[in-house]
Amino acid sequence: MIHIQSFTFNPFAENTYVLHDETGEAVIIDPGCYEKEEENELTGFISSKKLAIKLLLNTHCHIDHVLGNDFVKRQYKVPFLIHPIELTVLKTVKAYASNYGFPQYHEILPEGDLNEGESIRFGNSSLEILFLPGHSPGHVGFYESNQKILICGDVLFYHSIGRSDLRRQMKLLRHLPNALTCMNLLCGCTGIIFTLQYSTTWGAMFVWAACLFDFLDGFAARIFKINSPIGKELDSLADVVSFGVLPSVVMFQMIDFISSSDVLPYTAFSLAVFSALRLAKFNVDENQKDSFTGLPTPANALFITSLIFLKAPWEVFISNDLFLVTITLIFSLLLVAPWELFSLKFKNFQWADNKVRFTFIGISVLLLALWQAAALPFVILLYILFSLLMRWVRI
């Protein structure tokens, strides 16, 4: 006769099962224990019953059902079995475990398969393997017909059923970063039209919106561990428009408004050309992970489009067409300059490793609080200055 002991483990309130019979042999199904107290609860029961664990089984391999696999494997040295289709699901867990608050998760790989129609045997008992895809592609259940026992993972719940839309949702989530990138591109296109038809202020606001979507697409890609060559190329194409062409149009309008020359305004499009070169270099340079070589295009776009917000005594500079042309050429060259500029990506939050970043952010927040949009040009200049100090002074 099979006896069942269940445990509720981890923040997901997952059910872990120990099945044993009169011989003292047992199997562990879906060990979700992660904390030391949970591991002690599981081993304490097994020790108190003097059970001999024979197998480690997973009904499926979502994170809440596999957190204790490594512990059980190390503790009892038993074979680990899953359905072969479920291997892909298992291998993805380590990629997102930390995001769910389980940084100490360790992956182990199966040593055998659970196939429909076969049986699992321990002591005098056996469990029929049922293939139950839906909630997960390789989901299985374990059935004992005489006692009417069914261990079915997340296929059935009390008065309910398990979700079967998770895979479809993950397919949709794969497109989220690219959708956000397209919103970045849409901001760039719309900003160009609004700048030409209405005012340069609209161009600046659409650059801000594009920056937001540019941040969100990278954030979504990191959170959901989504990476594709198409996404990388699409991101660069969107950035050329939003952070290259749109700032060029804004600068063209600024120069054209105050200049008597028919030629000078067209120098503004050097920003678009050098932005394209900058992004092309970034795509083929594998070293720009923790820092940037040359001024990033979003920072350049923020500087150029925020010049329109400068007030006295600074507004006198943007009333001079030669000054604007000079600024345009300097910042075009900064895009491809062989200078290393720091990234705002934090590996940790310790002061010793991030004092420049923290100082830059603190001063920037203060400037923005005092001057609002008019502070943006000075924030970008401060970013360049701090980067050069890190390079030359080795802060």
Question: Which residue segments constitute the domains of the chain, with CATH numbers given?
Answer: 3-164 (3.60.15.10), 174-392 (1.20.120)
| pLDDT of the residue at 238 | 96
CA distance 206 to 246: 9
Residue 3, pLDDT score: 96
pLDDT of residue 389: 82
Q: Please, which residues bridge with residue 80 across strands? A: 56
243 vs 85, 167, 232, CA distance in Å? 44, 35, 16
pLDDT of residue 207: 98
pLDDT of residue 11: 87
* pLDDT-wise least confident of 143-147, 225-229, 291-295: 225-229
Percent of the chain at pLDDT above 70?
91
Region of residue 316 (phi > 0: left; psi between -120 and 50: alpha; otherwise: beta): alpha
Q: 171 pLDDT exceeds 60?
A: no
170 pLDDT more than 60: no
Q: What is the pLDDT of residue 210?
A: 97
In this predicted structure, the answer to whether residue 169 has a pLDDT above a threshold of 80 is no
CA distance 290 to 203: 30
The whole-number pLDDT of residue 175 equals 78
pTM over 0.75: no
| 296-306 pLDDT tens trace | 999 999 999 99
State mean pLDDT over 229-238: 87
pLDDT at residue 347, rounded to an integer: 66
What is residue 356's predicted lDDT score, i.e. its pLDDT? Answer: 83
- CA dist 191 and 197 (Å) reads 10
Query: Rounded mean pLDDT of the chain?
Result: 90
**Which tokens in the block code for residue 114?**
């659970």
Are the C-beta atoms of residues 48 and 89 closer than 8 Å to each other? no
> CA 34, CA 9: separation in Å to the nearest integer?
8
**Span of 63-77, 198-212, 273-287, 326-340 with lowest mean pLDDT:** 273-287
Q: Which long-range contacts (CB under 8 A, 24 or more apart) does 217-221 make?
A: 217/177, 217/178, 217/180, 217/181, 217/184, 218/177, 220/176, 220/177, 220/180, 221/177
* Burial 327-361, CB ≥16 within 10 A → b, else e: bbeebbebbbbeebbbeeeeeeeeeeebeebeebe
Q: How many CB atoms lie within 10 A of CB 123?
A: 18
Average pLDDT over residues 34-46: 95
Task: Write the CB contacts of 195 (distance below 8 Å, at least 6 apart in sequence).
Answer: 202, 203, 206, 246, 249, 250, 253
The model's pLDDT over 90-133, given as tens digits with 9 standing for 90+, comes to: 999 988 888 778 888 999 999 999 999 899 999 999 999 999 98
Asked if 259 contacts 326 with a C-beta cutoff of 8 angstroms, the reply is no
- pLDDT tens digits, 325-344: 999 999 999 999 998 898 88
